Amino acid sequence: MSSARSHVSMQNKYDRVVLLVDMDCFFCQVEEKQHPEYRNRPLAVVQYNPWRGGGIIAVNYAARAKGVTRHMRGDEAKDLCPEIVLCQVPNIREKADTSKYRDAGKEVANVLQRFTQLLERASVDEAYLDITETVNHRMQQMQSGAFALQPQELVNTFAVGYPSIGDYVNKITNRFANPYMDDERYQMSYDQNDLPAVRQSDIRLLIGASVAGEVRAAVKKETGYECSAGIAHNKILAKLAAGMNKPNKQTILPLTETASLFDSLPVGKIKGLGGKFGEVVCETLGIKFMGQVVKFSEVDLQRKFDEKNGTWLFNISRGIDLEAVTPRFYSKSIGCCKKFPGRNNITGLKTLQHWLGELSSEINDRLEKDFIENNRRAKHMVVQYVQDIDGEEVASSRSTALRDYDQESIVRLSLDLIKANTKTFLRPGSESALNNAIKFLGISVGKFETVSSGQNKLQEMFANQAAKKRRVSGDEPGQLPKVEMEKKQKQTDEFKMKSFFANYLQGAKKEDAKADGISANPLAAAAGAPNKNFVEEYKHKLHAAVRTEGTVLTSTPAEFKESFFSQYLKQQKKTGQQGSVTSREDSLDVQELAEELDAIEADNSKDFEEDTEEETELTSDTHMSKPEGQSSDAGQEQDPNTLNDSTGNDLYVETGIVPPTLTEDELKPSTSKRKFDEIESSVSNYKECYVEFAVPNLRTDILPTIKCDQCGANIPDEVKSLQTHRDHHFAQELSRTLRSTEREERTQSRQKISLKPTPPKKSKKTAGSGSSSYSTAPPSNSITKFFRAKPTQEQAPSDPQMNQCPECKAFIKCVDMPEHLDYHVARNLQRELNQQDLRTRTAALNKEKISPVQPKKQSQKKLNSTISASSSGTKTIAQFFSQSN
DNA sequence: CTTGGGACGCTCT
DNA sequence: TAGAGCGTC
């Protein structure tokens, strides 16, 4: 395994569609979700710090509107915005604890992961998705009519270089009608070999944007979090684009717009050039903007910087970035650190041991969780520290191999490493005073190795359980080959179960964090019997839950009765009785436990029903019993949503498996997860599912009326009615616009040389469409040109270089076939968009209405009004989207 | 006590 | 490979 990043080949530089999903002020959103009462209020997250109200690390948009920014102190924020809510990052072990945000980030990533295998988590709140396959697939589907772009997905979409997304769509439609519209420009700017990709770029990015819309909708629906996204042909551009319209927006960076964008784009805006290197580049080249780099030759850049950086700069300045999206869900290392500035310098051995203990404790906890989730163990450890040596800050890091470990051994190893690498560790003559004060401490572990399932009982349990599930769910009517289905199934099941365990464990750990110095360690026991302390904790937790909620709810909390663990136990009990279990030891242990748990649950064994469809947001807090000694401010409750995310119902809904203990009626197949799976597994009914998925329920009742700004009539203030009315006005405007458009196109047609006409198979009924007029009108230049890449050479159908188009039966040059097929794609795109019924567009309008309006984004408003002003079924996409003037 | 404090990945030597 | 350092969020 080389550490070098993988890259795509230069030929494929425009072939990918890459998405960057970036959560909007993520920490704030996490706090808002956890405290619904804070919603719609200005809010900032501060790190605990007694000085001037703490340091602000995240600001929501309501607070930003008041001028609150990061790098401010809490007090300053209060001055600017007295009503601001300041949330503190929880403090555990006397240091900031960001696990809440890590968990939330993982929750989001779990949603993202369903859209592609090629998911790269770039940070806690950012991920790259290579959606090339999906886009390509949809290109094909569009030709068969199995997929249609949904305008409402594009309402929150921007395209760099275009006033509104409508103009971008307009451009695409026009180019489909006249595929070589921009070719002169293209041929000047791009290599001949790249032209096919360049011509396809816009439509593929547009489809990418529709995927992005779905991704973001799914994230919102399933986690409650909003995000922004960038859509481009590579990571650098996707990242750049994502930042251009926020929050809750997505931005396409069209290939052909990068050059002009770069002309005024400060170098530092490019990821990788934001720091020192970027400064050096600017100084060395005497430039400010990205576009100015193109003036330098590759060798020149290589000479000024180095070979690698030179080439990289050369390419990046042209919008080319070959770095692959490297699938990575889990981090390669786990670490934590803390600064000890000024008076807090560590000067004594005891203090050093204390802090090493705290850091080790956190590392250990996270390793336990990671072990359960990912079945891997760290084999390597690094301790980093900054010492004060003669008034100088000297940073060092030392590493060692990690075998079996627990908190104490991590402490011991790190201390030994520091000792061994410090000339004079203790002050001469002292037993406890450090010779060099420590200003910074960090421990990180990595080089993970997967634990083979043979030595791991917990893993066997999961494997067995997954195997049983597969048997239960024998005849799923899936489209995928059975083996593939099962493979996916197993992964999901195991993952979900592990997640549950992990989340559960974490919740328990947090409770005990302060009460108990050294917690039990599953890793230490991993090679032995099944995880006893784990099970004990589960029991403890169940007890606690029943105790605290029993009086109110009279039933076992949902997260227990529907947990994987619970399901698993039930299943185990059944199969155990049948005496057909793979691992007898396991089953015995588990059966014992199952009986014990049954006893705990015994007094509330009734109503095992209802609320299987509960929204995440509505989930009530899980009340854990707190250890006596725990201070209130350090107490952190398990995020109810995290727990909820892993309940049994979710699994079954998501995977489509009928759980052994639930009836079919209890499985309401109406969550977005379910729908998405249907979409993915069944192309044929994609559209139905999709439309259902895309259209929110409209409340048309109890709405006041509003005055039409054009005719003054009173209309119900409800989008559908409003729109219907406006359509009336629009229709008049439309006919005028259409006539002039068509006139213009005819004029253009006449100016060009008409070649052998090969009209598409059928003329369209679509009335009044400027683009469709190409198909209804006599063969015009543009289409003909499309069929003939080189007008001068006329090819007979018998020519071996010719192929018959399966769609329209015309004979096309092989090299032009892809583009020709694009043409049909375009036709379909247009047709499908035209057929969008009022309802979907109404929904889009509705959706846009409730999202925050950016004052500067005029174009968005225009798009909005244009959409609402259009009537259904008779116009081209361009007219649906673009401004009519 | 600093225009945030971690956390993580990458890369160069 | 280890260790130092950078960049980013």
Nearest Cα to Cα of residue A566 among A518, A519, A504, A480 = A504
A858 within a domain of the structure (yes/no):
yes
Strand B bases with any atom < 7 A from protein Cβ: 1-12
A598 within a domain of the structure (yes/no):
no
A196 touches strand B (CB under 7 A): no
Strands A157-159 and A802-804: unpaired
In this structure, the answer to whether residues A163 and A268 fall within a common structural domain is: yes
Its domain, for residue A193, covers: 10-41+84-316
Distance A428 CA to B11 C1' (A): 39
Helix, coil or strand: residue A248: coil
Q: Which nucleotide is nearest to A45 (CA to C1')?
A: B4
Please enumerate, by residue number, every residue of A annotated as part of a binding site for a 2'-deoxyribonucleoside 5'-triphosphate.
70
In this structure, the answer to whether residues A113 and A140 fall within a common structural domain is: yes
Rounded CA-CA distance A650/A657 in Å is 10
Please enumerate, by residue number, every residue of A annotated as part of a binding site for Zn(2+).
708, 711, 725, 729, 805, 808, 820, 824
**Cβ count near A482 (within 10 Å):** 12
A530 within a domain of the structure (yes/no):
no
In this structure, the answer to whether residues A295 and A354 fall within a common structural domain is: no
A126 within a domain of the structure (yes/no):
yes
The helices-and-strands tally (H runs, E runs) of chain A is 33, 20
Distance A100 CA to B6 C1' (A): 14
In this structure, the answer to whether residues A354 and A450 fall within a common structural domain is: yes
Residues 6+ apart with CB under 8 A from A14: A194, A197, A198, A201, A233, A255
A338 touches strand B (CB under 7 A): yes
Q: What pLDDT score was predicted for residue A176? A: 83
In this structure, the answer to whether residues A305 and A390 fall within a common structural domain is: no
A459 within a domain of the structure (yes/no):
yes
At A369, phi and psi to the nearest 5? -60, -45
**Which is catalytic among the residues A126, A486, A562, A819?**
A126
For helices A165-177 and A195-223, what crossing angle results, to 10°? 140
A529 touches strand C (CB under 7 A): no
In this structure, the answer to whether residues A260 and A352 fall within a common structural domain is: no
Pair A214, A222: CB distance under 8 Å: no
A57 touches strand C (CB under 7 A): no
- The pLDDT averaged over each successive group of 10 residues in chain A (885 residues) is 73 95 93 92 83 84 89 86 89 84 91 92 92 95 86 89 95 86 91 94 96 94 94 95 94 96 94 90 93 94 90 94 90 91 91 93 91 90 92 91 91 93 92 93 92 56 43 28 30 42 38 36 34 40 39 33 38 39 37 46 30 21 27 30 27 22 25 25 23 18 36 38 38 34 40 32 31 29 22 43 70 68 69 46 37 34 34 33 28
Average pLDDT value over all residues in chain A: 64
Q: Which nucleotide is nearest to A52 (CA to C1')?
A: B1
**Six-digit token pair at A213?**
């819309």
**Six-digit token pair at A445?**
């572990």
Query: Which DSSP string do the residues of A316-342 spell out, in sequence order?
Result: HTTT---B----BSS-SEEEEEEE--G
Q: Which nucleotide is nearest to A340 (CA to C1')?
A: B1
Distance A605 CA to B6 C1' (A): 46
H or E element that contains A681: helix A672-681
**Six-digit token pair at A830?**
């247009």
A704 touches strand B (CB under 7 A): no
Helix, coil or strand: residue A434: strand
Residues 261-320 of chain A in contact with strand B via CB under 7 angstroms: 306, 308-309
Last residue of a domain, one of A473, A495, A519: A473
Specify which residue's alpha carbon is closest to the C1' of nucleotide C3. A397
A622 within a domain of the structure (yes/no):
no
Last residue of a domain, one of A473, A489, A521: A473
A331 touches strand C (CB under 7 A): no
A442 within a domain of the structure (yes/no):
yes
Q: What pLDDT score was predicted for residue A478? A: 25
Q: Which nucleotide is nearest to A23 (CA to C1')?
A: C9
**Cβ count near A561 (within 10 Å):** 19
**Six-digit token pair at A70?**
């990061």
Rounded CA-CA distance A635/A633 in Å is 5
**Six-digit token pair at A147?**
């997929």
Asked if the peptide bond before residue A42 counts as cis, ω within 30 degrees of 0, the response is no
Q: What pLDDT score was predicted for residue A29? A: 93
A399 touches strand B (CB under 7 A): no
Distance A643 CA to C9 C1' (A): 27
Residues 293-312 of chain A in contact with strand C via CB under 7 angstroms: none
H or E element that contains A20: strand A18-23
In this structure, the answer to whether residues A127 and A204 fall within a common structural domain is: yes
In this structure, the answer to whether residues A224 and A357 fall within a common structural domain is: no
Last residue of a domain, one of A260, A285, A316: A316
At A220, phi and psi to the nearest 5? -60, -45
| pLDDT, tens digit, 9 for 90 and up, residues A75-127 | 888 888 899 999 988 888 878 888 889 889 999 999 999 999 899 999 889 99
Pair A59, A247: CB distance under 8 Å: no
Distance A402 CA to C1 C1' (A): 16
**Six-digit token pair at A851?**
């999202």
Q: What pLDDT score was predicted for residue A766? A: 30
Distance A686 CA to C9 C1' (A): 37
Distance A325 CA to C9 C1' (A): 18
Rounded CA-CA distance A879/A885 in Å is 11
In this structure, the answer to whether residues A416 and A360 fall within a common structural domain is: yes
Q: What pLDDT score was predicted for residue A799? A: 58
A239 touches strand C (CB under 7 A): yes
Pair A84, A43: CB distance under 8 Å: yes
H or E element that contains A392: strand A392-401
- Number of domains chain A contains: 3
Distance A755 CA to B3 C1' (A): 66
Rounded CA-CA distance A759/A765 in Å is 15
Q: What pLDDT score was predicted for residue A399? A: 92
The CATH number covering residue A28 comes to 3.30.70.270
Residues 117-146 of chain A in contact with strand C via CB under 7 angstroms: 122-123, 125-126
The CATH number covering residue A455 comes to 3.30.1490.100
A534 within a domain of the structure (yes/no):
no
Pair A161, A261: CB distance under 8 Å: yes
Q: What pLDDT score was predicted for residue A390? A: 87
A212 touches strand C (CB under 7 A): no
Q: Which nucleotide is nearest to A27 (CA to C1')?
A: C9
A247 touches strand B (CB under 7 A): no
In this structure, the answer to whether residues A300 and A380 fall within a common structural domain is: no
- DSSP 8-state secondary structure symbol assigned to residue A89: P
A446 touches strand C (CB under 7 A): no
User: Is A126 an active-site residue?
Assistant: yes
Q: Which nucleotide is nearest to A366 (CA to C1')?
A: B7
In this structure, the answer to whether residues A312 and A337 fall within a common structural domain is: no
In this structure, the answer to whether residues A297 and A445 fall within a common structural domain is: no
A70 touches strand B (CB under 7 A): yes
